Amino acid sequence: MAASRRSRRGRVTAIAAVVAAAALTAGLTTGCDAVNKALDCVQTADAIADNVTDLQQAVENAADDPSQTDASLDSIEKSLRKIGDKTDDTDVNKAVDDLNQAIGNVRAAIRDGDDTPDVGPVTDAAGELTKVCTS
């Protein structure tokens, strides 16, 4: 798992560098605000990717500590609020909404007694958010 997390961080760092360069170029004509928004989006998407990894591990270990799943979902939602508050980009907002819906579905499954809810849709939605933030 640690190697996977390092690999993803390396990939996200490389993506962040590309986005920063593109945003910097755009910033020359549109101002620094675009650069800051792009970097905020990438940094928050990276944090969400880490939160999703934590969520996957929490679901795997739910029998030992079910509260970890809730804590992971709370962390993702907190990060999503940061993105939603800082952008007016339609694609980013849609990706945030989709991820919030996926989180709601996991919470509903847990309330309905599912000890190991399917977090695949959360992972997929987080990947889409990362893609939107880096495009």
Q: Tens of pLDDT along 53-111?
A: 888 888 887 767 777 888 888 888 888 887 777 777 788 889 889 999 999 999 899 88
Distance separating alpha carbons of residues 23 and 30, to the nearest angstrom:
9
Residues 81-95 have pLDDT tens digits of 877 777 777 888 898
pLDDT mean across residues, the chain: 74
Residue type, 91: D
pLDDT reported for residue 13: 53
d(CA 27, CA 86): 17
Identity of the residue numbered 45: A
- The conformation of residue 31, written as its DSSP 8-state character, comes to -
Residues in contact with 119: Cβ distance below 8 Å, sequence separation at least 6, in sequence order? 52, 55, 56, 59, 106
> How far lies 92's CA from each of 3, 86, 87, in Å?
29, 10, 7
Look at residues 72, 75, 119, 79 and name the one whose alpha carbon lies nearest to residue 96.
Answer: 79
Let me know: does 35 contact 20? Beta carbons within 8 Å: yes
pTM: 0.67
16 with 39: CB under 8 angstroms? Answer: yes
Look up residue 66 and give its DSSP letter. Answer: T
